[in-house]
Every structure is written in C-alpha cells, then in structure tokens.
Structure 1
C-alpha cells in the first residue's frame, strides 16, 4: 500500500506538531506533499496532482483545523484537482476504491467539541464536508486522527500519537483493533536488535508474543459475536 500525505500549513518548519509527525513518517511507502512549499505562488499543477493521486492507494489530508476547516491552499487544491470527469462524474472517477483520511491539529480540548461544549458541535459533524467529498469520489472514509493541544501533551501521549500516526499511514486496516495489534507486533519483531541492550530482544519478543495471543483472543471473540447475530 502506498500513502500520499497532502499537508497544508503556512509555517510547517515552525510547527512543533507538524515536525513531530514528519519525524514519524516511515522511510518507505509514504509520500509527503506540502502544498505551500510546492506551490508558493498558489498556482497548482493539476495534472501533476492527479498523477500523484493515481499513484497512491490511501490519501491523507493533514492540516491545522482553521475555522472548522482546512487552510485555504487545501481548499483550493480540492477545487482545482478534484474535477468533474476525473474525481467524479457519470462513471466512477479515478479515486474510486481508494482510502481517504484526515489528520488535523486543534488548539482546544477534546471535551469542547460536543453539545454543551464551547465549540458546540462534534468533530464528526464539523468534518462532514470531507466525508461528503470522500463519498462523492468513491473513496472509503477512514476515522480521522485528531491531535488536541499538542503543546500540552505528555511524553506518553506523544508516544501514543507517534504510533497511531504511523498506523494511519501504513496499516492496511487501521480501523480494526486486531489489525492495529498485529501491526505493533510486526513492528516490534522488525526492530534492529543490534542496537538493543542485552536482554531487550527477549523482552520485545515476549511483548510481541503477548500481543499475538491477545489478537487471537479478539479474533475468537469476534467469531462468537458473529455467530450470535
């Protein structure tokens, strides 16, 4: 699977959250595409962008959540690139069958995005235009990865974000709990053991075995639930 991450951010080099996520990007299988750097004049090469989309299986929009939407360059990208006859039309467009997801950063606490909260509406409600775009173009909409108040995150929360972000980019079934556990298990087994302290390799292998056991239990439980229904 090949993933295209389309980023819109006016000052990506000075953004702590963006730099953190960029450091988490795997070395293979992921293309990072920052719109403001690629098109400083704002004039988008539509053919180039459509070719990029064609070459990838999963499309991710990554951006700070400005006024309940994306920055203007990403909206312009949608207007220019997702044309009738390419992304939608009478027949299935060229994006049909691909996956689409969001990764975005918010400066407000998660609890505020609900009825009665300061922002009043949920994230699911506020991202309906992106869901509609995925539906119209025939893409499968993935659950968004939302990053709340990155500057206030603890080290443990940042490590969790690091893992969830990598899963969003590379895990072929990122919505499944069993799949996420399988992904972590595979990552543990692929670590370069030459750089580990004595005994650490055994600990990692044991952790991977435990996760595999838990995954099997989850799979068995799913079979039981399926039979009940």
Structure 2
C-alpha cells in the first residue's frame, strides 16, 4: 500500500507537532510526504502533477491544523483546483474510486471541547462533514480521523502513543481488528535495525514479539472454545 500525506501548514518549521510527525514518518515504507506550502510558495498549483500523484497512491491523507473548523487556505485551493469534474467525479471522473481518504488534525484545545456542551459545541465528526462528503463524491473510503489535541502539553508517554497511532494511520491496512494491530506491531518490531539498538534491546524486542504471539494463540484458543459452546 502506498500512502500520500498532503500537508498544509503555512509555518511548518515553527510547528512542534508537525515537526514531530514529520520525524515519525517510517523511512522504509511507501509513504510520500507532500507539503503544499513548500512546493507551491506562490500558490500556483500544478494540477496535472497533483492528479498524477493522487493516482499513484492507495491512501490519501490530509494533515493540517484545524483552523476555524477547516484547513489552511492553500489546501482548500488545492481541493478546488485538483479534485475536478472529469477526474475526481462526474461522468468521466471517479479516478479516485476505491482509494482510502482520511484526516490527521492538530487542535489547540482538549479533545473534550469538541462535543455538545463543550467549548466548541460540535464534534469533530460533525465539523468535518465536508471532507466526508468529498470521500463520498469521489467514491473513496473515509477513514476514522486521527485527532491530535494540545501537542505542546503532551508527556513523553503520550507522544510515544501518538507516534504509534500516526505510523499506523500511514501504514496499517484498514482492517481494524486486534489481530490486524498485532500483525502490524510485530512487523514494525521486526523491521528494527539491530545496529540502532542499545545493548540488550534486541533481546527485549524479541521477547515482546514472542509475548504478542503467545497472547494471540491464547485468544485464538478461546475463540475456538466459544464457537464450540455456541454450536452446542
């Protein structure tokens, strides 16, 4: 699976959250990072190049700070220019049909602010309906968004959890099951370059893999027992 991360942020070099996410992009995976403001400082978008880029990828992610319940201006212009009738939709369109589409949003308030009765009054799901509509119109599958609240206040443990969630958003197949998550985690652990590990870390990683596999075997055995009970 090839993933395209379309980033829009006018001051990305000064953004702690965006720099952290950029440093978390897995190097050995088929992930393309595409920062619009760096590529198009004048705002003039190469429509054909962007459409080719979309066609080359299976999963398309928009990554941006959630400004006034929407994206920065250049991403909105990109949508208007690139997702055209005859390409993304319409009688001669649907070139994006079957691809996956999702959002990675940074917000400056607590996640609980985005709900009825909260500071913002509406949920992220409600406020991102225009993007859900894009997925529907272009016949893409809409993914559950990754919402990153108040990055500046995150502790190291929270940042590590974010790193895993972000890498999963970029690389893990869509099936959202425990087995799928375990398979992805084992794959990531096995990719670790031993040369980058401190003394003893390689053994710790191997023990972690064995523990995950043992737990999976136990769960499979319990599933088999439950199935027998249901059929009896």
**Common fold by TM > 0.5:** yes
Give the match for residue 3 of structure 1: 3
Q: Matches of residues 14-33 of structure 1 in structure 2 within 5 Å? A: 14-27=14-27, 28-33=29-34
Give the match for residue 60 of structure 2: 59
Where in structure 1 do 4 or more consecutive aligned residues deviate above 4 Å?
216-225
Secondary structure at the counterpart of residue 97 of structure 1: coil
Give the match for residue 204 of structure 1: 205
Instruction: Tell me the alpha carbon deviations over residues 94-146 of structure 1, each in whole angstroms, 9 at most, x when there is no partner.
Output: 10000111001000101111111011111111111101100110111111010
Q: Is contact 1:109–1:149 with CA below 8 Å preserved after alignment?
A: yes
Give the match for residue 102 of structure 2: 101
Judged with a 3 Å threshold, the aligned counterparts in structure 2 of structure 1 residues 38 and 136 are, in CA distance, closer, same or farther, namely: same
Judged with a 3 Å threshold, the aligned counterparts in structure 2 of structure 1 residues 191 and 107 are, in CA distance, closer, same or farther, namely: same
Secondary structure at the counterpart of residue 119 of structure 2: coil
Q: Matches of residues 153-172 of structure 1 in structure 2 within 5 Å? A: 153-172=154-173
1:209 to partner: Cα distance: 1.8
Q: Which runs of 5+ in 1 are unaligned?
A: none
Q: Is 18-27 or 206-215 further displaced after alignment?
A: 206-215
1:186 to partner: Cα distance: 1.4
Give the match for residue 147 of structure 1: 148
1:196 to partner: Cα distance: 2.9
Instruction: Tell me the alpha carbon deviations over residues 15-73 of structure 1, each in whole angstroms, 9 at most, x when there is no partner.
Output: 10000000011223111111111111111111010000011110000000000111111
Secondary structure at the counterpart of residue 181 of structure 1: helix
Q: Is 152-161 or 21-30 further displaced after alignment?
A: 21-30
Judged with a 3 Å threshold, the aligned counterparts in structure 2 of structure 1 residues 222 and 97 are, in CA distance, closer, same or farther, namely: farther
Q: Is contact 1:25–1:166 with CA below 8 Å preserved after alignment?
A: yes
Q: Matches of residues 51-200 of structure 1 in structure 2 within 5 Å? A: 51-90=52-91, 93-173=94-174, 175-200=176-201
TM-score by length of 1: 0.92
Q: Is contact 1:173–1:180 with CA below 8 Å preserved after alignment?
A: no
Judged with a 3 Å threshold, the aligned counterparts in structure 2 of structure 1 residues 116 and 202 are, in CA distance, closer, same or farther, namely: same
1:220 to partner: Cα distance: 6.5
Q: Is contact 1:4–1:56 with CA below 8 Å preserved after alignment?
A: yes
Q: Is contact 1:106–1:147 with CA below 8 Å preserved after alignment?
A: yes
TM-score by length of 2: 0.91
Q: Is 207-216 or 64-73 further displaced after alignment?
A: 207-216
1:11 to partner: Cα distance: 0.5
Aligned alpha-carbon RMSD (Å): 2.0
